[in-house]
């Protein structure tokens, strides 16, 4: 009996010691990273002439930013393209108050917003390898990783293997899949309109489904029904991902029990099983017929096999786990980017019907009633101008971030390790100093001489897909998909805003219409 009591007491003592040790680690972490380090970084930035908000322990400016978001998102805005005060109210207020280079606080981390055009090229091109991607909360890794999040040699290896799959000649092989998905969308809308004069509905949800269908068919080489569950899971992951990405990264927090963590991990297991099964089928296809069948996954598997052979090492290519991560990234980034681009394009062409007429005239002149093909798509100058202008006014990704892991001199400022540098794409895209006094107006004509001549004095400021070596590898895929879909839609329908449409752009992960995209569709 006495021995049992002694053993129990010993266990209690060890447990108490372990808990005390963990609490000590957390306390030291909080003191160093959440109290002492932010104050040192703030002193270093202010000493060099930068201005910004003062650090508030422990959440920084997150509460104020969230409050401003709630206020502006409570109601829609007017039919204007001056969307910055609604889309990014906190950053808009900060830049207005503290200047073109100013800092705020993402928790205990200083976030320097740079809207000085002269520093863009230096940061994105000349110094691209001097920075890292921001470190996410450990739970955020369950959403996606892939080439988007990798650094150094791992990023270079994945980019090298992925590049061949996105060459224009390879993308041409995917046109039949694009065309099939477009046909499905057009058929659905024709049935909805029927014999009536018009049909009123929210195109946002249908364009999300269309983009998911394209990714399933053209990227993964499967059917929409087979890939639908992948899309559903990623949709369910968005809210917990955003919550995890915005939360403080306390050491050991990933090991603590939490309902959110359990849910994230369960969804991750399911999506890995689904993608693993699809990848296995594609591998068998390649082994049996020695061809990729024109889908992105097949091309990726061929590329990774070729890379292994060229380097004489089976480990030189990607592992199955790495391919799964790239597929998760393909699925989310490809679906989200294309859906929002097409949705905002239809909204803006409804707001500016004269450009809808011009685009349709061009499509009918190039294709008539024939299905869009690759050669014809490359001749759609007006459609291309419109897509670029939509990307300028409503970019899917509204900012780019880089993290300093060593002291970096940018302009006249030495940024110490541990600082986030933020390039707000949306602010550059709406800057009158770059685009002229009509910067917040819809004017595709500014791209008549191509992207490089749209703003002659500042050529490196239009980067809706990112800039420098780390630009989006799938931008040609997204633009080709958007051109084909828009051409098919213009061949068959005219459209206008519904009275139910509320103009309310909102950042979730990308820039989306908060209340959908309610349009009236008519057969053309």
* HEC per residue, 254-286: HHCCCHHHHHHHHHHHHHHHHHHHHHHHHHHHH
Q: Which listed CATH number (1.10.150.120, 3.30.43.20, 2.60.120.200, 3.40.109.10) goes with 1-137+398-441?
A: 3.30.43.20
Q: What is the pLDDT of residue 458?
A: 66
3-state helix, strand, coil in the chain (%, to 5): 60, 10, 30
| pLDDT at residue 18, as a whole number | 62
pTM, 2 dp = 0.90
In this predicted structure, what is the pLDDT of residue 385?
98
DSSP class of 164: G
DSSP string, 90-107: HHHHHHHHH-SEEEEEET
Q: Smallest Cα–Cα separation from 483: which of 169, 174, 178?
A: 178
Low-confidence ranges of the chain (pLDDT < 50): 256
Contact (Cβ atoms closer than 8 angstroms) between residue 466 and residue 320: no
pLDDT recorded at residue 142: 72
To which residue do tokens 């929409």 refer? 224
Helix/strand/coil for 407 = coil
The residue written with tokens 């502006």 in the block is 72
Residue 472 labeled ligand binder: yes
Integer Cα distance of 24 and 22 in angstroms: 5
Per the CB < 8 A criterion, the answer to whether 481 and 185 are in contact is no
| Phi, psi torsion values for 453, nearest 5 degrees | -105, 5
């Amino acid at each position: 009996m006495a021995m049992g009591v002694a053993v129990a007491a010993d266990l209690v003592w060890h447990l108490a010691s372990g808990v005390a040790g963990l609490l000590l680690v957390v306390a030291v972490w909080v003191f160093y990273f959440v109290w002492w380090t932010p104050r040192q970084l703030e002193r270093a930035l202010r000493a060099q002439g930068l201005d910004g908000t003062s650090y508030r322990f422990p959440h920084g400016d997150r509460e104020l930013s969230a409050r401003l978001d709630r206020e502006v998102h409570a109601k829609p805005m007017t039919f204007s393209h001056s969307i910055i005060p609604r889309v990014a109210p906190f950053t808009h207020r900060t830049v207005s108050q503290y200047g073109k280079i100013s800092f705020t606080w993402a928790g205990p981390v200083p976030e320097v917003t740079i809207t000085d055009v002269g520093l863009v090229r230096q940061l994105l091109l000349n110094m691209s390898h001097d920075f890292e991607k921001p470190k996410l909360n450990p739970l955020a890794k369950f959403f996606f990783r892939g080439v988007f999040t990798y650094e150094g040699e791992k990023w270079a290896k994945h980019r090298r293997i992925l590049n061949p799959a996105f060459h224009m000649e390879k993308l041409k092989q995917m046109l039949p899949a694009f065309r099939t998905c477009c046909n499905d969308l057009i058929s659905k809308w024709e049935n909805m309109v029927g014999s009536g004069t018009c049909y009123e509905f929210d195109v946002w949800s249908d364009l999300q489904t269309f983009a998911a269908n394209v990714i399933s068919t053209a990227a993964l080489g499967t059917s929409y029904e087979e890939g639908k569950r992948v899309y559903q899971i990623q949709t369910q992951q968005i809210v917990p991902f955003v919550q995890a990405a915005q939360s403080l990264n306390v050491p050991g927090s990933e090991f603590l029990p939490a309902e959110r963590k359990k849910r994230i991990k369960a969804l991750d297991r399911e999506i890995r099983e689904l993608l693993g099964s699809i990848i296995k089928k594609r591998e068998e296809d390649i082994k049996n017929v020695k061809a990729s069948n024109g889908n992105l996954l097949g091309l990726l598997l061929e590329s990774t096999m070729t890379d292994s052979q060229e380097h004489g090492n089976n480990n030189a290519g990607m592992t199955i786990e790495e391919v799964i991560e790239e597929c998760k990234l393909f699925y989310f980034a490809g679906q989200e980017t294309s859906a929002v681009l097409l949705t905002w394009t239809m909204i803006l062409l409804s707001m500016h019907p004269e450009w809808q007429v011009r685009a349709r005239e061009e499509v009918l002149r190039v294709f008539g009633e024939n299905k869009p093909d690759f050669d014809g798509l490359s001749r759609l100058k007006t459609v291309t101008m419109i897509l670029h202008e939509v990307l300028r006014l409503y970019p899917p990704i509204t900012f780019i971030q880089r993290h300093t892991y060593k002291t970096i001199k940018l302009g006249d400022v030495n940024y110490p390790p541990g600082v986030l540098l933020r390039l707000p794409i949306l602010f550059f895209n709406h800057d009158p100093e770059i685009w002229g006094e009509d910067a917040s107006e819809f004017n595709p004509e500014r791209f008549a001489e191509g992207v490089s001549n749209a703003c002659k004095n500042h050529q490196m400021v239009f980067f809706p897909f990112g800039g420098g070596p780390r630009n989006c590898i799938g931008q040609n895929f997204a633009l080709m998909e958007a051109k084909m879909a828009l051409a098919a839609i213009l061949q068959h329908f005219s459209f206008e805003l519904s009275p139910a449409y509320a103009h309310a752009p909102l950042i979730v992960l990308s820039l989306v219409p908060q209340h959908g995209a309610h349009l009236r569709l008519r057969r053309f």
